[in-house]
Every structure is written in C-alpha cells, then in structure tokens.
Structure 1
Amino acid sequence: MTLFRLDASIRTEGSVTRELADSAQAAWQEARPGQSVIRRDLAADPLPADAWSTSALSGFVPAEQHTEEQLAAKALASTLAEELLAADAYLFAVPLYNWGVSQHFKTWFDLLVTDPRFAPGGDTLLEGKPAALYVARGGGYGPGTPKEGWDHATPWMVRILQDVLKLDLKVSVAELTLAPVTPGMEGLLGLAQDSLDTAQQSAREHGKSLADQVAAAV
C-alpha cells in the first residue's frame, strides 16, 4: 500500500497545511506501518514555470522533431503521472493564497494533464481511490463573514480532485490561521484554535480512514 502526499505551502516551518498532512500521514503509518510514502513537495522542489506550456505545445509537433526542452518537460509530466498511478491513497496539503489557487499546485495539475494518461476526456485511472485535501485560510470565509465567497481556490481544487480525477475526496479546512500573528485579530484567537483543533482531528481520522479504505479494496 502506497500513500502519495503533495505539499504546496511555501513555508516549511509553521505551515498549517503541512501540520495537518503530518497528522494524517502519522495516522496512516500507525494503521499501516512499513508502507511507503511518495512525497511531492512543490516548495522544496518547485516545478519549472514553463514546463506546462512546453509539454503542452509539444503535442502539436511530430515526435521526431521534439526539442530537448520538450522531451524534458514531457518526461517531467510522465514522472508526475507515475507518482499518482503508483499510489493507493492521496493527501493534498494546499493553502489559500491571495484568494486563489497556489501557483505551485496549479502548475502541478496543468503539467500532469499534459501526460496522455491524464488528458481531459480520457480514462479515469484514479477513480474511487481515497484522498484528502487540507486547506488553510488566514482569514474567515464562512457564511455571514465579510469575505464569504472570496475563497476561489477550494471549490476549484475539489472540482479537480473529485470531479476530474474522480478521487473519493475528503476535505478539511482550518480558518483564521493568521490570528496569532496579525494585529487586530486577537479577538478571533479562540475561533482560530477551535478551527485548527477540528481540522487536526479530522486529519487524524482521514489518515486512518484512507488506510482502512485501501485495505478493504485489496
């Protein structure tokens, strides 16, 4: 049994999404000790910004005319595809940045779908496999808040992971994560801690649930 984990936070220390994924991974490994984990850290090892366009445009050129750059981009896309295909369950830890999708995660997905195995309209090779998405939002975006509707990332990621890749997706969100370090948010510290505690609990439950789902499918 293999777990795939993707991290997109630009922070390696103090990242809430990384902490949530750590909790889920620990629960997975406790339930399935000795099983392998594939890591894709998009901050420690960022994907080249031009890899997506280079790989995508190579499809309009005969294979024998591909440049070294195109061959390298296609090989990188193939590596991303192989990582997903080699796994049985998935963790995606992606923070909300400037109300939109992390550029690292967007680049990862755009490049992934240039691989023919993940091309839009093709076979759904991951259908039904269990996955969890962890999101951290610095402010509050719930119903009735001033920023309700400003999170343009989470719905898109759910659409991609659940409806395009066909993963059996669970989602956990920690809100108000900037309260401890932002002047003027002191009154929200209690709500921030409650949100984090709830997200951590669900992350631990997700880790065990993913392991159980994979075991049941074997």
Structure 2
Amino acid sequence: VQHNFTQRILNDKDSIVDGIYNERIKKVHTQTIDLAKNVNVGGEYLTNVGLSKDTIVGLSNTLNVGVDNKVRVSKNSSEYVGENKDIEIGANQNTIIHKDEIRNVKGNKKEVVEGHYDINIKETLKIQTEKETSIRSKNNLLITTNASMGFETDKNNTFVSDNSLSQTKTDYEVKAGNQILHQVGDTQIVTKGDYVIIKAGGVEVVIDSNGLVVKGGEIRTE
C-alpha cells in the first residue's frame, strides 16, 4: 500500500496467526474501543516504553497478581491518594530506607500492636510534645541505662506509689532551696536553711544556731 489504507468491518472480525506476529508503526498508533477490551496472554507479557507512559482510568482500577509483584523505580517515585487508603498484608512486611524518613500526619495517629514492640536506635532518641505526655502500663514499667539518668522539670515533680524504695551503692544527696519535709503520720522532720524541727508524739525539738530546744517534753537518758 503506497498511501493510506482504510478498513471497515460491519460485523465481527477473527484473526488467527499460527506463527509469529510482528507489527511495526513508525509514527503514531491510535486505538479507540467503545466498549470493552480483553487481552489474554498464555505466556509472558512485555511492554517496553522508551519515554513516558500515562494511563488514565475513569473509574476503578484493579490489579490481580497470582504470585509475585515487583516494582522497580530507578529514581523518584510519587503517589497521591485523594481520600482513604487501605493496605492489608497477610504475612510480614520489611522496609529498608537507606537514608532519612520524614512523615507528616496532619491529624491523629494510632498504632495497635498485639505482640511485642521493639525499637532499636543506635544514636539519640528525642520525643517532644507541646502538651501533655502520658505513659501507662498495666504491668511493670522498667527504665534502665548504663550511664546517668536525670529528671528535670520547671515546676512540680510528684511520685505517688503504694511502696517506694530508693537504694544507692555510694552517696545519696538531697538538696532543696527552701525546705525538706520527712513525714510519717504525725511525725515530721522539717529541714530549712538555718534550723531543723523534729515533731514526734507531741514533742517538738528545734535545732538552730542558738542550740537545741525541746517543747512539750524533756531530755533524759536511760
């Protein structure tokens, strides 16, 4: 055919090639199908695009893969989802990121782990919140470190428990800028910068720069 070729079939068309079928188009290939298109490939199916490829689907898009599925991208990869996205994995998931990872969640985030949750960090862990931070365990909570540990707060620091034990192998220091109070029931030991008050059994003992004063009792030896 030296020039144009037009073919119109008013009904069905069947084409069977028992051997190899090759087709080469040096310019543009346009195919318009008004209803449906079915492609059945008994063996392998290869598509090689030298430049860009765009696929536009007006409604739903479903991909069914019987065995493995691999996607290789040499450079950047981008995905945009206008609404919700659901992912279900029947077995394990392994993710390797060779550089940094940044996630920005505009709303809330919730994770539910039915088994163990392990986090291994080789360097620094920083957690910063602009409001309240709460950690609650229905069983024991253990914090261990091979080096020093410190608690620092700009306001109050409160520990509430049924029983409390503090044990150190060497020195133990308690420093306060104003007052230290030790109290069991009505018995108190109040320590301030220039005096100490001991209250027990209705007796009050004051120790200051003037000496020792006993109120409501007496000093005796046995």
More helix by share: 1
Report the TM-score, using the length of structure 2 for normalisation.
Answer: 0.16
Larger radius of gyration: 2
Question: Comparing both chains, which one has the higher relative contact order based on Cα–Cα distances under 8 Å and sequence gaps of 6 or more?
Answer: 1
Report the TM-score, using the length of structure 1 for normalisation.
Answer: 0.16
